[in-house]
Amino acid sequence: MEHLIPIGLNHYLTISAFLLGFGLFAVMTRKNAIVVLMGVELILNAANINFLAFSKYNGGMGGVMFSLFVIVIAAAEAAIALAIVINIFKIFKSVDVSSIDTMKE
Amino acid sequence: MHSLIQLSIVVLLLPLLSFVILIFFNRRLPRRGDFIGVGILGTAFAISAYIFWSVIVQTYDPAFRIAWDFTWIDLGNVPGVGPLKIKMGVVIDNLTAIMLAMVTLISLLVHLYSTGYMAGDKNYGRYFAFLGIFTFSMLGIVLSDNLFSIYIFWELVGLSSYLLIGFFFEKQSAADAQKKAFLANRVGDIGMWLGILILYSQFHTFSFEQIYANLAAGKFTLSNAWLTAAGILLFMGCVGKSAQFPLHIWLPDAMEGPTPVSALIHAATMVAAGVYFVARIFVVLTPDALHVIAFIGAFTAFMAATIAITQNDIKRVLAYSTVSQLGYMVLGLGVGAYSAALFHLVTHAFFKACLFLGSGAIIHAMHHEQDMRWMGGLRKHMPWTFATFTLATLALAGLPLTSGFMSKDAILAGAIGFAQVEGGGVYYLIPVLGFFSAMLTAFYMGRQIWLVFFGESRTHLKPVDNHHSDHHAHGAADEQHGVHEVHEVSWNMRAPLVILAVLSVFIVYSPNPLDGAEGWFMKMIKTPATVVGPANHNSSGALIQASSAPLMAEAQPAAGAHSATDSPAESAGEHASVKGGEHTFADPRQAEIAHASHGAHFTAIYISSIMVVLGISMAFVVYVFKIIDPEKTAQAIRPLYLFSLNKWYWDEIYQATFIKGSIVISKILSWFDTNVVDGIVNGVALVVKKFAFANNSFDKYVVDGLVNFTAFSVNTTGAVLRKLQTGKVQTYVVMLLLAVFGYFVFYFTRLIY
């Protein structure tokens, strides 16, 4: 087990960065609104990992409390976002974000 | 306030009341309210007669004088002028009392007469209203105690004269005549006002009494020439109003007015106001000013008399006769025969009013025929008119036993005395012109009487192609019915004639038909002592004392002694005693003239009687016995005849000089106006316009340019930036990321360097 590098802060941050990257990728490229929302969740969770990692290596409970807060808000956000998506579907008969562009110009 | 003053104010305001009632309500009153005019004037005359009775008959004092005044306007201390306080007041002396009675009596008679003469006129009520305001203004002149109020009333009589001359304003000639009268009067009034201002600038008062007192005290600081100028300027008012020589042209034309108006205004009262005014200011007139006045009067008397002998219109003869007689009065004042001139004013007022009302009756009976050539033979049809007209004519001609004889003779005696004192030469021209005019007066009045009343009716001789087409119908009707249609006028027109004719008899004024000086009139109106003149400069307190109280010529006992004398010889003795010191004139010149006039009394009587007889016999020779044919004579001296017929061409001369001149001046001014003034205005307009155009361009290109450029740039920027807004969520996310990325690049670049 000695050749294995002990897991440190950088690992957490790396995973968090990957998660953020995937999340952004999903938000930017996916056409389905649901998938876009899933990307948003990934971004939020990337932030959560950062909070927890810094909390662990820094001591104190501030980061834990903050990530709990983020989870709660993410839940609320998901609920509202899904409601919006349902409404959009009702109007446009589609959840393709690229085709919903009536706000242009 | 004296009770007579109160009464005189009532007399003054009564005709105004008549005016106010009639001008507003005449259409609502029965008979258009003429009874109100007549009734009010009757009341005014009754009160005036009471004043006359108390002042002249009961008091019988030559020095009688009561006055009352109040401050009308107090303007305080006006910068550049000094204290400015305008007072109004009433003065009653013998002259005022006589004039009050005369004006109200003639006005009453004219009111009464007009009820017949003007009956049926469509503006009947307004006519009486105008008569009311005229009487009010005339009484105002008579009662005024200062120059300011006399000037106000002076303008008011001018206005009422204007209104009444143009009473038949539908006629072009009447409208022209009223304009002419107004303008001619205006010229005189400007002079009068300037004269008033010269006196005011010295004494800061308008009151007669104070001006005279100041003058007597030698407070006039300017040179004597200014005083003469003030006198002549004040006299200009009289020249305008009393139709003296340069401004006499309006009076004959004023005959376009109704005939009773001619009697009241243009013969008896208003035109005499000028003479009355000169009498009021008599004491401020310097000898030089008096000379001017005397010559103007003499020339006017002569000129108007020569014109009157050829006129054919019955009223025009009387009009020129009025001008001539006014010339006599002015002449009388000019030579210092003050009481004689005023005496003539009163006697003339009565007999001339009688003549005008008589001519009105004739015109009325002849159906508005005014040309004497087509009259004749009226004696049988109008006996009352004939009798009164003849009596008044004799008075005008100055035959003994009439009032006109006494007054005219007194003036001529004064003129002779004046010429003697002034040293003969050119001054004898004044009595000579006076006597010659007396002869002409007798001649033209004889001619008028003969043409109108004697002979056969010449109505049918009137040319048919008369340009008065509307009168033509009348003429034709007369021809058919003959002259029998002419009949005597009704009682309300006859009564005034009789009253006025009675007042033309000598006995009313003086018990001695040869000497007016024995009558009450000339005893009550005495020549006031002058407050100016050569003696004024080197004199002492004695003169001031003497002048401040109006001087009475002769003491009462002397007058009594005089009336007892009947023969010329005794009179001559009297004259010597006059020289001995009965006269109290402080001014030697005045005393000398008074004395010389007295001496000339019988000379004047002889010469004027001869002249009158000569004139009347000439009229008989020409018109009754037809020894000289007037037509042929006129042909023989055609230039002279035309000269007289065309009124000495004064109208033409004025047309060629003043009227043409003012037209030329107006044309020059019009040219100046169109080219210079309008040029300046148009130039300014052009500059403003150019500036406005420049401003417009600036606005259009610079200001609007800036605004439009702003709009354009905003528009363009918007158009570019609009492209960024795709409406697609993911684009925004990319932009967000780019922004964050950019921020990092920026942040780390700063970190590195």
Q: Does B727 touch chain A (CB under 8 A)?
A: yes
Residue A3 within any structural domain of the chain: no
Distance from C-alpha of B589 to C-alpha of B606, rounded to nearest angstrom: 26
Rounded to the nearest angstrom, the gap between the alpha carbon of residue A5 and the centroid of all alpha carbons in its chain is 28
Please give the pLDDT value at position B586: 66
Question: Would the CB atoms of A27 and B733 count as touching at under 8 Å?
Answer: yes
Question: Measured between CA atoms, how close is A1 to chain B, in angstroms?
Answer: 39
Please name the helix (run of DSSP H) or strand (run of DSSP E) that holds residue B85, with its range, or none. Answer: strand B82-93
pLDDT at B562 over 70: no
> What was the pLDDT predicted at A44?
93
Contact B730 A27 (CB under 8 A): yes
Is B734 in CB contact (< 8 Å) with chain A?
Answer: yes
Mean pLDDT lowest among A77-91, B66-80, B144-158, B286-300: B66-80
**Chain A residues near residue B733 by CB distance under 8 angstroms:** 24, 27-28
Q: Is the predicted pLDDT of residue A101 greater than 80, yes or no?
A: no
The answer to whether B725 contacts A101, with C-beta atoms less than 8 Å apart, is no
pLDDT value of residue B110: 93
Is A35 an 8 Å CB contact of chain B? no
Using a pLDDT cut of 70, give the percent of chain B over it. 90
Structural domain includes residue A63: yes
- Where helices occur in B144-286 by DSSP H, the ranges are 147-165, 172-203, 208-216, 224-241, 250-253, 259-263, 270-280
Q: How many angstroms separate the CA atoms of B296 and B280, rounded? A: 19
Backbone angles phi, psi at B76, to 5 degrees: 70, -150
Torsion of CA B200, B203, B204, B205, to 10 degrees: -80
Report the b/e string of B44-58 with b at 16+ CB within 10 A: bbebbeebbebbbee
Tens of pLDDT, residues B378-398: 888 888 899 999 999 999 988
Cα dist. B281→B170, B647, B704 in Å?
40, 31, 78
Per residue in B646-675, pLDDT tens? 888 888 888 888 888 999 999 999 999 999
The tally of domains found in chain A comes to: 1
Which of A28, A97, A100 is nearest residue B734 as measured by Cβ atoms? A28
Q: In the A/B pair of chains, how many CB contacts fall below 8 A?
A: 32
- Residue-level pLDDT at B474: 44
Q: Greater confidence, B294 or B76?
A: B294
Residue B187: strand, helix, or coil: helix
Whether A51 is covered by a domain: the verdict is yes
Mean pLDDT of all residues in B698-717: 93
Q: For chain A, give the longest Cα–Cα distance.
A: 61
> pTM to 2 decimals?
0.73
CB atoms within 10 A of CB A87: 10
Q: Where are the alpha helices (DSSP H) in B242-269?
A: 250-253, 259-263
pLDDT value at residue B485 = 66
Q: Could you tell me if residue A41 is inside a domain?
A: yes
Closest-approach residue (CA) in chain B for A103: B727
* Residue whose C-alpha is closest to residue B142's, from B67, B193, B91, B188: B91
- Per-residue pLDDT at B512: 79
B729: contact with A, CB 8 A cutoff = yes
Q: What is the pLDDT of residue B29?
A: 84
Non-local (6+) Cβ contacts of B697 within 8 A are none
Tell me what ipTM this predicted complex has.
0.82
For B183, the token pair is 């303008």
Copy the structure tokens of residue B191: 């002079």
* pLDDT number for residue B141: 93
Is any Cβ of chain B less than 8 angstroms from the Cβ of A96? no
Cα–Cα distance for residue pair B507/B493, rounded to 1 Å: 24
pLDDT digits (tens, 9 = 90+) for B161-177: 999 998 988 889 899 99
Best B724, B733, B735, B737 member to test A by mutation, with max A CBs in 10 Å, is B733
Question: Facing residues of B67 across strands?
Answer: B91
Cβ of residue A93 closer than 8 Å to a chain B Cβ: no
Mind listing the pLDDT tens digit for each residue in B280-323? 999 888 888 999 999 999 999 999 999 998 888 889 999 999 99
Among partner residues B727, B730, B734, which is closest to A103 by beta-carbon distance? B727
Which residue of chain A has the CA closest to B718? A105
Quick check: B727 and A101 CB within 8 A?
Answer: yes
The C-alpha of A53 sits at a distance from chain B's nearest C-alpha, in angstroms, of 23
- Interface test with chain B among A31, A94, A98, A99, by most B beta carbons within 10 Å: A98
Which token pair is B256?
A: 């376009």
Q: How high is the pLDDT of residue B534? A: 54
Q: What is the pLDDT of residues B200-236, one digit of tens each?
A: 888 888 888 888 888 888 888 888 888 899 999 999 9
In the predicted model, what is the mean pLDDT of chain B?
Answer: 83
B545: pLDDT strictly greater than 60: no
Residue that the structure tokens 């008065």 belong to:
B468
A2 CB near a chain B CB, below 8 Å?
no
Report yes or no on A101 lying in a domain: no
B726·A104 Cβ contact <8 A: yes
- Per-residue model confidence (pLDDT) at position B46: 94
pLDDT at A58: 83
Q: From chain B, pick out residues whose CB is under 8 angstroms from the CB of A97.
A: 728-730
- B28 touching chain A per CB within 8 A: no
Q: Is B251 exposed, middle or buried (0-12, 13-18, 19+ CB in 10 A)?
A: buried
Residue B599 vs residue B501, higher pLDDT = B501
Average pLDDT over residues B514-536: 75
Q: Is the confidence at residue B742, as pLDDT, over 90?
A: yes
Mean pLDDT along residues B503-511: 84
Segment among B82-86, B361-365, B615-619, B694-698 with least mean pLDDT? B82-86
CB B96 within 8 A of CB B150: no
DSSP string for residues in B367-410:
TS--BGGG---TTTT-HHHHHHHHHHHHHHHT-TTBHHHHHHHH
Confidence check: pLDDT of B479 > 60: no
Q: Would A102 be classed as within a structural domain?
A: no
Instruction: Tell me the β-bridge partners of B70.
Output: B88
Which tops the pLDDT comparison, B84 or B440? B440
> Does the distance separating the beta carbons of A104 and B730 come in below 8 Å?
no
Asked, for residue A100, whether it belongs to a domain, the answer is: no
pLDDT at A49: 93
Of the partner residues B727, B734, B737, the one whose CB lies closest to the CB of residue A102:
B727
pLDDT value, residue B723: 83
Q: How confident is the model at residue B584 (pLDDT cuts 50, 70, 90)?
A: low
pLDDT of residue B423 exceeding 90, the answer is no
CB contact under 8 A, B737 and A104: no
Phi and psi dihedrals of B399, rounded to 5? -80, 145
> Would you say residue A66 lies in a domain?
yes
* CATH code: domain of residue A87: 1.10.287.3510
pLDDT tens sequence across B232-265: 999 999 999 998 988 888 998 888 889 999 999 8
Structural domain span for residue A82: 8-92
Residue B730 and residue A102: Cβ atoms within 8 Å?
A: no
Question: Beta strand pairing status for B65-78 and B82-93?
Answer: antiparallel
CA B578 to CA B593: how far, in whole Å?
12
Q: Is the Cα dihedral B709, B713, B716, B719 positive or negative?
A: negative
CB B147 within 8 A of CB B231: no
Better pLDDT: B743 or B376:
B743
pLDDT at B692 over 50: yes
Sign of the C-alpha dihedral computed for residues B168, B174, B176 and B181 taken in this order: negative
List, for residues B713-738, the tens digit of each pLDDT value. 999 999 998 888 887 888 888 888 99
State the nearest Cα–Cα gap between B722 and chain A, in angstroms. Answer: 6
Q: How confident is residue B472, by pLDDT bands cut at 50, 70 and 90?
A: very low
CB B708: neighbour CB atoms within 10 A? 12
Q: Give residue A105's pLDDT.
A: 58
Dihedral Cα B732, B734, B738, B739, nearest 10 deg: 20
Of B722, B730, B737, the CB nearest to A97: B730
